[in-house]
Structure 1
Amino acid sequence: MGMIHYTPSGVRLTEHIRRPGNLNWLFLPGGPGIGSESLTGLVDLLEVPGTSWLVDLPGDGSNVEGPGILDDPFRHWPNVLTEAAGTVANPVFVGHSTGGMYLLATAELEQLLVGLVLISTAPDASWLPAFTTMTEQNPLPQVELTTARYESEPTNENLAAVAVASTPWNFGTTTLETGAKFLATMPYNGAAVAWSEENFDHDYEYAWWPTLIPTLIVSGSEDRIVTQELWNDKRFTGNNIHHARIERGAHFPWFENPAAVKATFEKYSESLARAMLESPY
Protein backbone atom coordinates (compact mmCIF):
# COMPACT_ATOMS: atom_id res chain seq x y z
CA MET A 1 0.00 0.00 0.00
CA GLY A 2 1.41 3.37 -1.01
CA MET A 3 0.54 6.95 -0.30
CA ILE A 4 -2.89 8.19 0.77
CA HIS A 5 -4.21 11.49 -0.57
CA TYR A 6 -7.30 13.43 0.48
CA THR A 7 -8.99 15.98 -1.74
CA PRO A 8 -10.32 19.26 -0.25
CA SER A 9 -13.77 17.69 0.25
CA GLY A 10 -12.37 14.52 1.78
CA VAL A 11 -12.31 12.06 -1.13
CA ARG A 12 -9.68 9.48 -0.20
CA LEU A 13 -7.28 8.13 -2.83
CA THR A 14 -5.18 5.20 -1.64
CA GLU A 15 -2.31 4.13 -3.88
CA HIS A 16 -2.54 0.36 -4.20
CA ILE A 17 -0.20 -0.67 -7.02
CA ARG A 18 2.35 1.31 -9.02
CA ARG A 19 3.57 -0.01 -12.35
CA PRO A 20 5.43 1.65 -15.23
CA GLY A 21 3.19 3.95 -17.24
CA ASN A 22 1.63 7.40 -17.14
CA LEU A 23 -1.99 6.41 -16.46
CA ASN A 24 -3.74 6.74 -13.10
CA TRP A 25 -6.54 4.24 -12.58
CA LEU A 26 -9.15 5.34 -10.04
CA PHE A 27 -11.23 2.42 -8.74
CA LEU A 28 -14.59 3.49 -7.27
CA PRO A 29 -16.64 0.90 -5.36
CA GLY A 30 -20.32 0.12 -5.66
CA GLY A 31 -22.76 -0.26 -2.81
CA PRO A 32 -23.26 2.46 -1.85
CA GLY A 33 -21.86 2.02 1.62
CA ILE A 34 -19.21 -0.61 0.83
CA GLY A 35 -15.60 0.50 0.93
CA SER A 36 -13.06 0.46 -1.88
CA GLU A 37 -11.54 -2.56 -0.17
CA SER A 38 -14.14 -4.46 -2.21
CA LEU A 39 -12.03 -3.78 -5.31
CA THR A 40 -8.59 -4.82 -4.06
CA GLY A 41 -8.97 -8.30 -5.54
CA LEU A 42 -9.77 -6.78 -8.91
CA VAL A 43 -6.84 -4.37 -8.77
CA ASP A 44 -4.48 -7.16 -7.71
CA LEU A 45 -5.66 -9.26 -10.66
CA LEU A 46 -5.15 -6.63 -13.32
CA GLU A 47 -1.80 -5.69 -14.80
CA VAL A 48 -2.72 -2.30 -16.20
CA PRO A 49 0.07 0.21 -16.87
CA GLY A 50 0.47 3.08 -14.41
CA THR A 51 -0.75 3.59 -10.87
CA SER A 52 -3.94 2.09 -9.46
CA TRP A 53 -5.77 3.97 -6.71
CA LEU A 54 -8.65 2.91 -4.47
CA VAL A 55 -11.15 5.75 -4.16
CA ASP A 56 -13.61 6.37 -1.32
CA LEU A 57 -16.07 9.24 -1.32
CA PRO A 58 -16.29 11.25 1.91
CA GLY A 59 -18.55 9.44 4.36
CA ASP A 60 -18.47 6.17 2.41
CA GLY A 61 -17.03 2.87 3.55
CA SER A 62 -14.32 3.47 6.14
CA ASN A 63 -13.62 7.04 4.97
CA VAL A 64 -15.38 8.83 7.82
CA GLU A 65 -12.67 10.73 9.70
CA GLY A 66 -10.29 11.97 7.03
CA PRO A 67 -9.31 15.63 6.58
CA GLY A 68 -11.80 17.76 4.71
CA ILE A 69 -14.82 15.66 5.66
CA LEU A 70 -17.65 17.96 6.74
CA ASP A 71 -20.43 17.40 9.23
CA ASP A 72 -22.49 16.58 6.13
CA PRO A 73 -20.00 14.59 4.01
CA PHE A 74 -22.65 13.87 1.36
CA ARG A 75 -23.32 17.54 0.62
CA HIS A 76 -21.50 17.48 -2.70
CA TRP A 77 -22.03 13.85 -3.70
CA PRO A 78 -21.29 12.66 -6.35
CA ASN A 79 -19.73 15.80 -7.85
CA VAL A 80 -16.70 15.50 -5.55
CA LEU A 81 -15.53 12.84 -7.99
CA THR A 82 -14.17 15.69 -10.10
CA GLU A 83 -11.71 16.43 -7.29
CA ALA A 84 -10.38 12.88 -7.47
CA ALA A 85 -10.02 13.04 -11.25
CA GLY A 86 -8.29 16.41 -11.01
CA THR A 87 -5.75 15.15 -8.50
CA VAL A 88 -3.80 12.94 -10.90
CA ALA A 89 -2.58 13.07 -14.49
CA ASN A 90 -4.26 10.96 -17.16
CA PRO A 91 -7.07 9.62 -14.96
CA VAL A 92 -9.02 6.53 -15.94
CA PHE A 93 -12.05 6.08 -13.69
CA VAL A 94 -13.26 2.52 -13.05
CA GLY A 95 -16.70 2.41 -11.43
CA HIS A 96 -18.32 -0.75 -10.08
CA SER A 97 -22.13 -0.93 -9.79
CA THR A 98 -23.43 2.25 -8.09
CA GLY A 99 -19.95 3.71 -8.42
CA GLY A 100 -20.34 3.64 -12.19
CA MET A 101 -23.69 5.36 -11.86
CA TYR A 102 -22.12 8.13 -9.81
CA LEU A 103 -19.55 8.60 -12.58
CA LEU A 104 -22.19 8.88 -15.29
CA ALA A 105 -24.16 11.33 -13.15
CA THR A 106 -21.18 13.72 -12.99
CA ALA A 107 -21.03 15.46 -16.35
CA GLU A 108 -17.89 17.46 -15.52
CA LEU A 109 -15.84 14.27 -15.66
CA GLU A 110 -16.04 14.25 -19.45
CA GLN A 111 -13.48 17.05 -19.59
CA LEU A 112 -11.13 15.39 -17.10
CA LEU A 113 -10.86 11.70 -17.99
CA VAL A 114 -8.74 9.94 -20.58
CA GLY A 115 -10.59 6.66 -20.04
CA LEU A 116 -13.72 5.24 -18.42
CA VAL A 117 -14.56 1.69 -17.30
CA LEU A 118 -18.05 0.70 -16.16
CA ILE A 119 -18.44 -2.65 -14.39
CA SER A 120 -21.80 -4.21 -13.48
CA THR A 121 -23.52 -0.83 -13.67
CA ALA A 122 -26.39 0.86 -15.55
CA PRO A 123 -27.23 4.06 -17.42
CA ASP A 124 -30.36 4.85 -15.42
CA ALA A 125 -32.56 3.73 -12.53
CA SER A 126 -34.60 1.32 -14.65
CA TRP A 127 -32.34 -1.45 -13.35
CA LEU A 128 -34.19 -1.24 -10.03
CA PRO A 129 -37.53 -2.74 -11.15
CA ALA A 130 -35.64 -5.63 -12.73
CA PHE A 131 -33.78 -6.16 -9.46
CA THR A 132 -37.02 -6.12 -7.48
CA THR A 133 -38.53 -8.72 -9.81
CA MET A 134 -35.44 -10.89 -9.42
CA THR A 135 -35.64 -10.78 -5.62
CA GLU A 136 -39.32 -11.71 -5.72
CA GLN A 137 -38.64 -14.65 -7.99
CA ASN A 138 -35.59 -15.75 -5.98
CA PRO A 139 -36.46 -14.95 -2.35
CA LEU A 140 -33.83 -15.26 0.35
CA PRO A 141 -35.48 -15.56 3.79
CA GLN A 142 -32.22 -14.62 5.51
CA VAL A 143 -32.17 -11.32 3.61
CA GLU A 144 -35.68 -10.56 4.85
CA LEU A 145 -34.66 -11.32 8.44
CA THR A 146 -31.44 -9.32 8.37
CA THR A 147 -33.12 -6.41 6.56
CA ALA A 148 -35.85 -6.23 9.22
CA ARG A 149 -33.15 -6.22 11.90
CA TYR A 150 -31.24 -3.48 10.09
CA GLU A 151 -34.37 -1.34 9.68
CA SER A 152 -35.11 -1.57 13.38
CA GLU A 153 -31.47 -1.03 14.37
CA PRO A 154 -29.52 0.55 11.46
CA THR A 155 -25.98 -0.25 12.55
CA ASN A 156 -23.13 -0.95 10.18
CA GLU A 157 -22.84 -4.42 11.67
CA ASN A 158 -26.45 -5.18 10.80
CA LEU A 159 -25.88 -3.77 7.31
CA ALA A 160 -22.98 -6.18 6.89
CA ALA A 161 -25.30 -9.04 7.84
CA VAL A 162 -27.70 -8.01 5.06
CA ALA A 163 -24.83 -8.00 2.56
CA VAL A 164 -23.65 -11.46 3.57
CA ALA A 165 -27.20 -12.82 3.42
CA SER A 166 -27.45 -11.54 -0.18
CA THR A 167 -24.46 -13.63 -1.31
CA PRO A 168 -26.52 -15.94 -3.60
CA TRP A 169 -27.74 -12.91 -5.54
CA ASN A 170 -24.25 -11.44 -5.91
CA PHE A 171 -22.19 -14.52 -6.77
CA GLY A 172 -22.33 -17.61 -8.94
CA THR A 173 -22.76 -21.09 -7.54
CA THR A 174 -19.02 -21.79 -7.74
CA THR A 175 -18.06 -18.71 -5.70
CA LEU A 176 -20.71 -18.70 -2.97
CA GLU A 177 -18.38 -19.60 -0.12
CA THR A 178 -15.64 -17.24 -1.26
CA GLY A 179 -18.18 -14.50 -1.89
CA ALA A 180 -19.72 -14.81 1.57
CA LYS A 181 -16.31 -14.56 3.24
CA PHE A 182 -15.47 -11.58 1.04
CA LEU A 183 -18.66 -9.69 1.91
CA ALA A 184 -18.23 -10.47 5.60
CA THR A 185 -14.86 -8.72 5.74
CA MET A 186 -15.83 -5.47 3.99
CA PRO A 187 -16.40 -2.12 5.74
CA TYR A 188 -19.98 -0.83 5.42
CA ASN A 189 -21.54 2.55 6.00
CA GLY A 190 -25.29 2.86 6.52
CA ALA A 191 -25.27 6.65 6.27
CA ALA A 192 -24.06 6.42 2.66
CA VAL A 193 -26.78 3.87 1.89
CA ALA A 194 -29.44 6.18 3.34
CA TRP A 195 -28.20 9.19 1.39
CA SER A 196 -28.17 7.33 -1.91
CA GLU A 197 -31.58 5.80 -1.31
CA GLU A 198 -33.12 9.20 -0.61
CA ASN A 199 -31.25 11.38 -3.09
CA PHE A 200 -29.95 9.28 -5.97
CA ASP A 201 -30.96 5.68 -6.57
CA HIS A 202 -34.54 6.07 -7.74
CA ASP A 203 -34.09 9.15 -9.92
CA TYR A 204 -30.69 8.40 -11.41
CA GLU A 205 -30.16 8.97 -15.12
CA TYR A 206 -26.84 9.37 -16.89
CA ALA A 207 -25.92 13.05 -17.32
CA TRP A 208 -23.28 12.45 -19.98
CA TRP A 209 -22.07 9.79 -22.35
CA PRO A 210 -18.50 9.65 -23.72
CA THR A 211 -18.30 10.48 -27.41
CA LEU A 212 -14.50 10.41 -27.67
CA ILE A 213 -13.13 8.93 -24.43
CA PRO A 214 -12.26 5.23 -24.79
CA THR A 215 -14.88 3.47 -22.68
CA LEU A 216 -15.15 -0.13 -21.53
CA ILE A 217 -18.42 -1.67 -20.36
CA VAL A 218 -17.87 -4.90 -18.44
CA SER A 219 -20.99 -7.06 -17.94
CA GLY A 220 -21.22 -10.37 -16.16
CA SER A 221 -23.46 -12.72 -18.12
CA GLU A 222 -25.05 -13.86 -14.84
CA ASP A 223 -25.34 -10.49 -13.07
CA ARG A 224 -28.59 -10.62 -11.08
CA ILE A 225 -28.12 -7.37 -9.16
CA VAL A 226 -27.91 -4.85 -12.03
CA THR A 227 -29.41 -6.04 -15.30
CA GLN A 228 -26.93 -5.58 -18.13
CA GLU A 229 -29.58 -5.64 -20.84
CA LEU A 230 -29.85 -1.85 -20.66
CA TRP A 231 -26.53 -1.51 -22.48
CA ASN A 232 -28.03 -3.07 -25.62
CA ASP A 233 -29.53 0.31 -26.56
CA LYS A 234 -27.84 1.79 -29.63
CA ARG A 235 -27.16 4.99 -27.67
CA PHE A 236 -24.38 3.13 -25.90
CA THR A 237 -22.45 2.12 -28.99
CA GLY A 238 -19.71 3.89 -30.90
CA ASN A 239 -16.15 3.55 -32.12
CA ASN A 240 -14.88 4.52 -28.68
CA ILE A 241 -17.17 2.10 -26.79
CA HIS A 242 -16.00 -1.43 -26.02
CA HIS A 243 -18.49 -3.97 -24.63
CA ALA A 244 -17.18 -7.04 -22.81
CA ARG A 245 -19.47 -9.86 -21.71
CA ILE A 246 -17.85 -11.98 -19.03
CA GLU A 247 -19.19 -15.52 -19.31
CA ARG A 248 -20.31 -17.00 -15.99
CA GLY A 249 -19.59 -13.66 -14.33
CA ALA A 250 -22.01 -12.42 -11.67
CA HIS A 251 -22.10 -8.99 -10.02
CA PHE A 252 -18.40 -9.21 -9.11
CA PRO A 253 -17.38 -10.94 -12.36
CA TRP A 254 -13.68 -11.17 -11.51
CA PHE A 255 -14.57 -13.81 -8.93
CA GLU A 256 -16.15 -16.26 -11.38
CA ASN A 257 -13.98 -15.57 -14.42
CA PRO A 258 -10.78 -13.72 -13.49
CA ALA A 259 -8.97 -14.70 -16.68
CA ALA A 260 -11.61 -13.11 -18.89
CA VAL A 261 -11.69 -9.92 -16.84
CA LYS A 262 -7.90 -9.65 -16.92
CA ALA A 263 -7.81 -10.19 -20.68
CA THR A 264 -10.55 -7.62 -21.19
CA PHE A 265 -8.60 -4.96 -19.30
CA GLU A 266 -5.41 -5.82 -21.19
CA LYS A 267 -7.18 -5.33 -24.51
CA TYR A 268 -8.76 -2.09 -23.32
CA SER A 269 -5.40 -0.78 -22.05
CA GLU A 270 -3.91 -1.37 -25.49
CA SER A 271 -6.75 0.48 -27.23
CA LEU A 272 -6.46 3.31 -24.71
CA ALA A 273 -2.75 3.64 -25.39
CA ARG A 274 -3.39 3.83 -29.12
CA ALA A 275 -6.08 6.45 -28.66
CA MET A 276 -3.81 8.62 -26.54
CA LEU A 277 -1.06 8.42 -29.17
CA GLU A 278 -3.42 9.35 -31.97
CA SER A 279 -5.24 12.11 -30.13
CA PRO A 280 -3.39 13.22 -26.96
CA TYR A 281 -5.64 14.79 -24.29
Structure 2
Amino acid sequence: MNDVRFTPSGVRLRRHAARPGDLNWLFLPGGPGIGSESLIELAEAIDVPGTIWLVDLPGDGSNQDAPGAPADPYTVWPQVLIEAAQALPNVVFAGHSTGGMYLLATPELATHIVGLVLIDTAPDASWHPRFVAMTERHPLPAVDEAAAIYESDRRDENIAAIAVASAEWNFSPAGLGAGRDLLSRMPYCSAAVDWSEAHFDHVYRATWWPESIPTLVLAGAEDRIVWQGGWNDARLHTPNASFGTIAGGGHFPWIENPDAVNAAFAELAARLPTPA
Protein backbone atom coordinates (compact mmCIF):
# COMPACT_ATOMS: atom_id res chain seq x y z
CA MET A 1 0.00 0.00 0.00
CA ASN A 2 1.30 3.46 -0.86
CA ASP A 3 -0.33 5.60 1.86
CA VAL A 4 2.63 7.48 3.35
CA ARG A 5 2.18 10.26 5.87
CA PHE A 6 4.53 12.55 7.78
CA THR A 7 3.88 14.27 11.08
CA PRO A 8 4.81 17.97 11.45
CA SER A 9 8.30 17.01 12.70
CA GLY A 10 8.96 14.30 10.14
CA VAL A 11 7.86 11.04 11.74
CA ARG A 12 6.93 8.77 8.81
CA LEU A 13 3.91 6.47 8.85
CA ARG A 14 3.54 3.97 6.02
CA ARG A 15 0.36 1.94 5.78
CA HIS A 16 1.25 -1.72 5.40
CA ALA A 17 -2.08 -3.54 5.64
CA ALA A 18 -5.71 -2.80 6.35
CA ARG A 19 -8.43 -5.08 7.63
CA PRO A 20 -11.93 -4.27 8.85
CA GLY A 21 -11.83 -2.37 12.12
CA ASP A 22 -11.09 1.09 13.50
CA LEU A 23 -7.83 0.37 15.32
CA ASN A 24 -4.52 1.77 14.06
CA TRP A 25 -1.48 -0.35 14.92
CA LEU A 26 1.77 1.65 14.82
CA PHE A 27 4.92 -0.50 14.63
CA LEU A 28 8.15 1.17 15.79
CA PRO A 29 11.46 -0.59 15.05
CA GLY A 30 14.38 -1.25 17.34
CA GLY A 31 17.99 -0.66 16.57
CA PRO A 32 18.27 2.27 16.56
CA GLY A 33 19.36 2.99 13.03
CA ILE A 34 17.45 0.05 11.57
CA GLY A 35 14.29 0.95 9.71
CA SER A 36 10.74 -0.22 10.18
CA GLU A 37 11.39 -2.57 7.26
CA SER A 38 12.64 -4.88 10.03
CA LEU A 39 9.01 -5.30 11.13
CA ILE A 40 7.47 -6.29 7.80
CA GLU A 41 7.44 -10.00 8.68
CA LEU A 42 5.82 -9.14 12.01
CA ALA A 43 3.16 -7.06 10.28
CA GLU A 44 2.46 -9.93 7.93
CA ALA A 45 2.36 -12.52 10.72
CA ILE A 46 -0.41 -10.97 12.78
CA ASP A 47 -4.11 -10.96 12.01
CA VAL A 48 -5.68 -8.11 13.96
CA PRO A 49 -8.59 -5.78 13.22
CA GLY A 50 -7.72 -2.40 11.76
CA THR A 51 -4.76 -0.86 9.93
CA ILE A 52 -1.05 -1.57 10.42
CA TRP A 53 1.41 1.28 9.97
CA LEU A 54 5.22 1.09 9.87
CA VAL A 55 6.69 4.05 11.76
CA ASP A 56 10.13 5.67 11.46
CA LEU A 57 11.46 8.55 13.52
CA PRO A 58 13.02 11.39 11.51
CA GLY A 59 16.62 10.50 10.79
CA ASP A 60 16.11 6.78 11.40
CA GLY A 61 16.44 3.97 8.88
CA SER A 62 15.45 5.18 5.43
CA ASN A 63 13.51 8.19 6.77
CA GLN A 64 16.19 10.71 5.90
CA ASP A 65 15.50 14.37 5.04
CA ALA A 66 11.89 13.98 6.14
CA PRO A 67 9.63 16.97 5.43
CA GLY A 68 9.24 19.10 8.55
CA ALA A 69 12.13 17.51 10.41
CA PRO A 70 14.55 19.86 12.18
CA ALA A 71 18.07 20.19 10.81
CA ASP A 72 19.20 17.87 13.61
CA PRO A 73 16.32 15.40 13.83
CA TYR A 74 17.67 13.76 16.98
CA THR A 75 16.84 16.87 19.02
CA VAL A 76 13.21 15.70 18.97
CA TRP A 77 13.90 12.03 19.82
CA PRO A 78 11.99 10.22 21.21
CA GLN A 79 9.31 12.69 22.33
CA VAL A 80 8.25 13.35 18.74
CA LEU A 81 6.53 9.96 18.88
CA ILE A 82 3.61 11.80 20.44
CA GLU A 83 2.95 13.28 17.00
CA ALA A 84 2.55 9.81 15.54
CA ALA A 85 0.08 8.85 18.25
CA GLN A 86 -1.90 12.02 17.60
CA ALA A 87 -1.95 11.50 13.83
CA LEU A 88 -4.53 8.71 13.91
CA PRO A 89 -7.42 7.61 16.13
CA ASN A 90 -7.54 4.47 18.28
CA VAL A 91 -3.77 3.89 18.26
CA VAL A 92 -2.10 0.75 19.52
CA PHE A 93 1.63 1.47 19.65
CA ALA A 94 3.98 -1.52 19.30
CA GLY A 95 7.70 -1.05 19.90
CA HIS A 96 10.43 -3.61 19.25
CA SER A 97 13.60 -3.59 21.37
CA THR A 98 14.92 0.00 21.63
CA GLY A 99 11.69 1.15 20.00
CA GLY A 100 9.80 -0.06 23.04
CA MET A 101 12.21 1.80 25.28
CA TYR A 102 11.56 4.98 23.33
CA LEU A 103 7.83 4.49 23.93
CA LEU A 104 8.36 4.04 27.67
CA ALA A 105 10.48 7.22 27.69
CA THR A 106 7.56 9.25 26.29
CA PRO A 107 4.95 9.63 29.05
CA GLU A 108 2.80 11.96 26.95
CA LEU A 109 1.68 8.89 24.99
CA ALA A 110 -0.51 7.77 27.88
CA THR A 111 -3.45 9.92 26.85
CA HIS A 112 -3.21 9.20 23.13
CA ILE A 113 -3.14 5.41 22.81
CA VAL A 114 -5.62 2.64 23.53
CA GLY A 115 -3.09 -0.19 23.67
CA LEU A 116 0.64 -0.87 24.01
CA VAL A 117 2.84 -3.74 22.83
CA LEU A 118 6.45 -4.10 23.98
CA ILE A 119 8.46 -6.78 22.16
CA ASP A 120 11.90 -7.91 23.38
CA THR A 121 12.44 -4.62 25.15
CA ALA A 122 13.21 -3.59 28.74
CA PRO A 123 12.10 -1.10 31.40
CA ASP A 124 15.59 0.29 32.02
CA ALA A 125 19.18 0.21 30.80
CA SER A 126 20.24 -2.73 32.98
CA TRP A 127 19.96 -4.96 29.90
CA HIS A 128 22.92 -3.29 28.20
CA PRO A 129 25.86 -4.51 30.34
CA ARG A 130 24.35 -8.00 30.23
CA PHE A 131 24.26 -7.80 26.44
CA VAL A 132 27.94 -6.81 26.38
CA ALA A 133 28.78 -9.69 28.72
CA MET A 134 26.91 -12.10 26.45
CA THR A 135 28.93 -10.98 23.43
CA GLU A 136 32.12 -11.60 25.40
CA ARG A 137 31.00 -15.10 26.40
CA HIS A 138 29.92 -15.91 22.85
CA PRO A 139 32.30 -14.01 20.56
CA LEU A 140 31.65 -13.85 16.84
CA PRO A 141 34.91 -13.06 15.03
CA ALA A 142 33.00 -11.87 11.96
CA VAL A 143 31.38 -9.16 14.08
CA ASP A 144 34.77 -7.92 15.26
CA GLU A 145 36.08 -7.88 11.70
CA ALA A 146 33.07 -5.98 10.38
CA ALA A 147 33.21 -3.55 13.31
CA ALA A 148 36.86 -2.78 12.61
CA ILE A 149 36.02 -1.98 8.99
CA TYR A 150 33.17 0.28 10.10
CA GLU A 151 35.34 2.16 12.59
CA SER A 152 37.82 2.95 9.82
CA ASP A 153 35.09 3.83 7.33
CA ARG A 154 31.90 4.91 9.10
CA ARG A 155 29.50 4.52 6.23
CA ASP A 156 25.98 3.24 6.78
CA GLU A 157 26.66 0.40 4.36
CA ASN A 158 29.30 -0.94 6.71
CA ILE A 159 26.84 -1.18 9.60
CA ALA A 160 24.89 -3.71 7.58
CA ALA A 161 27.86 -6.08 7.60
CA ILE A 162 28.01 -5.89 11.40
CA ALA A 163 24.31 -6.63 11.68
CA VAL A 164 24.45 -9.65 9.37
CA ALA A 165 27.51 -11.00 11.19
CA SER A 166 25.59 -10.75 14.48
CA ALA A 167 22.72 -12.95 13.28
CA GLU A 168 23.69 -15.83 15.60
CA TRP A 169 23.08 -13.55 18.58
CA ASN A 170 19.72 -12.38 17.25
CA PHE A 171 18.14 -15.61 16.02
CA SER A 172 17.84 -19.19 17.12
CA PRO A 173 19.33 -21.84 14.81
CA ALA A 174 15.88 -22.45 13.32
CA GLY A 175 15.57 -18.81 12.31
CA LEU A 176 19.14 -18.13 11.29
CA GLY A 177 18.68 -18.26 7.52
CA ALA A 178 15.62 -16.02 7.51
CA GLY A 179 17.29 -13.78 10.07
CA ARG A 180 20.38 -13.22 7.95
CA ASP A 181 18.15 -12.36 5.02
CA LEU A 182 16.19 -9.87 7.12
CA LEU A 183 19.31 -8.13 8.43
CA SER A 184 20.97 -8.02 5.01
CA ARG A 185 18.17 -5.98 3.39
CA MET A 186 17.57 -3.40 6.10
CA PRO A 187 18.43 0.29 5.83
CA TYR A 188 20.88 1.43 8.50
CA CYS A 189 21.74 4.86 9.82
CA SER A 190 24.96 5.43 11.77
CA ALA A 191 23.90 8.87 13.03
CA ALA A 192 20.91 7.32 14.82
CA VAL A 193 23.15 4.66 16.35
CA ASP A 194 25.57 7.31 17.60
CA TRP A 195 22.81 9.47 19.09
CA SER A 196 21.25 6.63 21.03
CA GLU A 197 24.62 5.40 22.27
CA ALA A 198 25.55 8.87 23.50
CA HIS A 199 22.22 10.05 24.90
CA PHE A 200 19.89 7.14 25.62
CA ASP A 201 21.11 3.55 25.76
CA HIS A 202 23.11 3.78 28.98
CA VAL A 203 20.84 6.10 30.98
CA TYR A 204 17.38 4.96 29.92
CA ARG A 205 14.72 4.29 32.50
CA ALA A 206 11.00 4.10 31.80
CA THR A 207 9.31 7.35 32.81
CA TRP A 208 5.78 5.96 32.79
CA TRP A 209 3.83 2.74 32.95
CA PRO A 210 0.33 2.20 31.52
CA GLU A 211 -1.61 1.25 34.63
CA SER A 212 -4.95 0.96 32.82
CA ILE A 213 -4.16 0.74 29.08
CA PRO A 214 -4.22 -2.88 27.82
CA THR A 215 -0.56 -3.82 27.48
CA LEU A 216 1.31 -6.83 26.10
CA VAL A 217 4.95 -7.52 27.01
CA LEU A 218 6.36 -10.19 24.73
CA ALA A 219 9.79 -11.75 24.31
CA GLY A 220 11.45 -14.65 22.58
CA ALA A 221 12.43 -17.43 24.98
CA GLU A 222 15.90 -17.47 23.40
CA ASP A 223 16.45 -13.71 23.10
CA ARG A 224 20.11 -13.05 23.88
CA ILE A 225 20.08 -9.34 23.06
CA VAL A 226 17.79 -7.70 25.62
CA TRP A 227 17.75 -9.23 29.11
CA GLN A 228 14.19 -9.66 30.33
CA GLY A 229 14.86 -9.72 34.06
CA GLY A 230 13.88 -6.08 34.46
CA TRP A 231 10.23 -7.06 34.06
CA ASN A 232 10.35 -8.96 37.36
CA ASP A 233 9.61 -5.68 39.16
CA ALA A 234 6.22 -6.23 40.83
CA ARG A 235 5.23 -2.62 40.14
CA LEU A 236 4.99 -3.43 36.44
CA HIS A 237 2.62 -6.37 36.88
CA THR A 238 -0.55 -4.34 36.89
CA PRO A 239 -3.87 -6.02 36.02
CA ASN A 240 -3.91 -4.45 32.55
CA ALA A 241 -0.58 -5.99 31.54
CA SER A 242 0.02 -9.49 30.21
CA PHE A 243 3.44 -11.05 29.81
CA GLY A 244 4.25 -13.73 27.25
CA THR A 245 7.24 -15.79 26.16
CA ILE A 246 7.50 -17.04 22.59
CA ALA A 247 8.84 -20.60 22.51
CA GLY A 248 11.87 -20.94 20.26
CA GLY A 249 11.92 -17.22 19.53
CA GLY A 250 15.04 -15.09 19.44
CA HIS A 251 15.24 -11.30 19.40
CA PHE A 252 12.83 -11.18 16.44
CA PRO A 253 10.52 -13.95 17.72
CA TRP A 254 8.02 -13.68 14.86
CA ILE A 255 10.69 -15.12 12.58
CA GLU A 256 10.93 -18.42 14.46
CA ASN A 257 7.37 -18.66 15.80
CA PRO A 258 4.93 -16.37 13.97
CA ASP A 259 1.86 -18.33 15.07
CA ALA A 260 2.58 -17.78 18.77
CA VAL A 261 3.21 -14.08 18.19
CA ASN A 262 -0.06 -13.81 16.29
CA ALA A 263 -1.92 -15.55 19.13
CA ALA A 264 -0.48 -13.07 21.66
CA PHE A 265 -1.57 -10.11 19.52
CA ALA A 266 -5.02 -11.63 19.14
CA GLU A 267 -5.33 -11.91 22.91
CA LEU A 268 -4.45 -8.27 23.29
CA ALA A 269 -6.84 -7.23 20.54
CA ALA A 270 -9.65 -8.97 22.40
CA ARG A 271 -8.87 -6.85 25.49
CA LEU A 272 -8.89 -3.53 23.69
CA PRO A 273 -11.85 -1.18 24.10
CA THR A 274 -14.30 -1.06 21.23
CA PRO A 275 -13.73 2.22 19.35
CA ALA A 276 -16.62 4.63 19.63
Quick check: TM above 0.5?
yes
Name the aligned partner's letter for residue 183 of structure 1: L
Map of 2:125 onto structure 1? 125
- What's the CA shift string for 1:45-86, capped at 9, x where partnerless? 111111110000000000002211222011110000000000
Q: 2 CA distance for matches of 1:21 and 1:233?
A: 35
Q: 2 CA distance for matches of 1:41 and 1:58?
A: 22
Q: 2 CA distance for matches of 1:210 and 1:228?
A: 18
* 1:174 maps onto 2:174 in alignment: yes
Q: 2 CA distance for matches of 1:227 and 1:148?
A: 26
Q: 1 CA distance for matches of 2:178 and 2:219?
A: 20
Q: 1 CA distance for matches of 2:220 and 2:51?
A: 25
Matches within 5 A, 1:66-215: 66-215=66-215
Please, which runs of 5 or more residues in structure 2 have no aligned partner?
none
Please, which runs of 5 or more residues in structure 1 have no aligned partner?
none
Q: 1 CA distance for matches of 2:114 and 2:48?
A: 14
Name the aligned partner's letter for residue 220 of structure 1: G
Map of 2:47 onto structure 1? 47
- What's the CA shift string for 1:142-190, capped at 9, x where partnerless? 1111111111211111100000010000000111111111100010000
- What's the CA shift string for 1:230-256, capped at 9, x where partnerless? 212212101100111111110000011
Normalised by the length of structure 2, the TM-score is 0.98
SS in 1 for 2:75: coil
How many equivalent pairs are there?
A: 276
SS in 1 for 2:47: coil
SS in 1 for 2:76: coil
Normalised by the length of structure 1, the TM-score is 0.96
Q: 2 CA distance for matches of 1:2 and 1:263?
A: 28
Name the aligned partner's letter for residue 147 of structure 2: T
- What's the CA shift string for 1:12-49, capped at 9, x where partnerless? 00011111111100000000000000001100111111
Q: 2 CA distance for matches of 1:85 and 1:68?
A: 17
Map of 1:224 onto structure 2? 224
Whether contact under 8 Å (2:59, 2:66) holds in the other structure is no
Whether contact under 8 Å (2:78, 2:106) holds in the other structure is yes
SS in 2 for 1:218: strand
Q: % of aligned pairs identical?
A: 58
Name the aligned partner's letter for residue 56 of structure 2: D
- What's the CA shift string for 1:111-135, capped at 9, x where partnerless? 1110000000000000001101110
Q: Which stretch shows the higher mean deviation, 148-157 or 160-169?
A: 148-157
Whether contact under 8 Å (1:2, 1:17) holds in the other structure is no
Map of 2:236 onto structure 1? 236
Moved over 6 A (4+): none
Whether contact under 8 Å (2:92, 2:115) holds in the other structure is yes
Q: 2 CA distance for matches of 1:106 and 1:268?
A: 21
